[in-house]
Amino acid sequence: MRDSVLLEAPAKVNLYLEVGAKRRDGYHAVRTVMQAVELCDLVGVELAGRGGVIALEVEGEAPRGEDNLCHRAAAAFLEATGLRRSVRIRLVKRIPVAAGLGGGSSDAAAVLRGLNFLAGEVLGSRELLELAASLGMDVPFFLVGGTAMGEGRGERVSPLAQAPPLPLVLANPGTPLSTAEVYRRYDAAGGGEPPRGGAEAMGEALRAGDARRVASLLFNSLQPAACSLVPAVGALLEHALWAGARGALVSGSGPTVFALVSDQGEAEELEKEMGRHAPLVVRTSFRSAGVGLA
């Protein structure tokens, strides 16, 4: 049996994010269509000797120690399974933090997948999803990957027909945004009216591979709040549309903006243009579901 594994932990974008009323537990009800993209962190997971010690090595910009979701995921797995082994994790961080791309959640999901694989699949898919949900609302999505619908707080995930590998460009203004602060601003000001057909219409457009229709249905209730907190976000949206993107949207609570284009040639041109306005620009594409072994 193997004692180590290396996994890819992909970023995601929210093609559709409709935020509802605040629930009794303090969270907001959401309906979201999430799409994994090819931009990835790398997560190495190793089961070592006995003792329950968790060691985390980070390359790049990310929290260290117990503040990192990777550490919390490993601790939760050991507690849930009663596995009395030590764990070594090596994280190579490529996805910017606090960017609306789900990097930390994806890293945590990779740790759960890796440990479950190394331990002989001791947790079934339902148990693993429940454990993921205890760590954060985006973590279950990264166990599913590809194209999926998220409901509840986002933790109830249903796979959708996988979208084709449409190209897109990510642009980040270099200013982290607090999710809690974005939601507070949303509660104060609202977030606009969602398009007709909502999340279901987006799912149908993705299934058909209709890039024009997908672009027309992009929606994020949190976008006005993100733009008001970081005006550079609104400027990036305008630059992307001016430069010819089919559509542009803030991902999650921001501040990363993604722009959809028709082909790789347009993506290359848009990448160059957006590089004039943002410190971090990445050309990537939609990613289908998969285990993500590197």
Which residue of the set 41, 93, 107, 138 is catalytic?
Answer: 138
Q: Has 272 been annotated as catalytic? A: no
Respond yes or no: is residue 12 known to be catalytic.
Answer: yes
Burial label, 88 (beta-carbon count in 10 A; 0-12, 13-18, 19+) = middle
Q: 47-76 burial, b for 16+ CB within 10 Å, e for fewer?
A: beeeeeebebebeeebbeeeebbbbbbbbb
Residue of 120, 124, 122, 48 whose CA lies nearest to 90: 48
d(C-alpha 40, C-alpha 264), whole Å: 19
Q: Which residues pair with 156 in a beta bridge?
A: 151
217: tokens are 């249905």
Tracing tokens 């970081």 back to the chain, one arrives at 230
Note the Cα 131 to chain centre separation in Å. Answer: 17
Cα distance between residue 284 and residue 270, in whole Å: 12
Catalytic residue among 3, 12, 41, 93: 12
Catalytic site positions = 12, 138
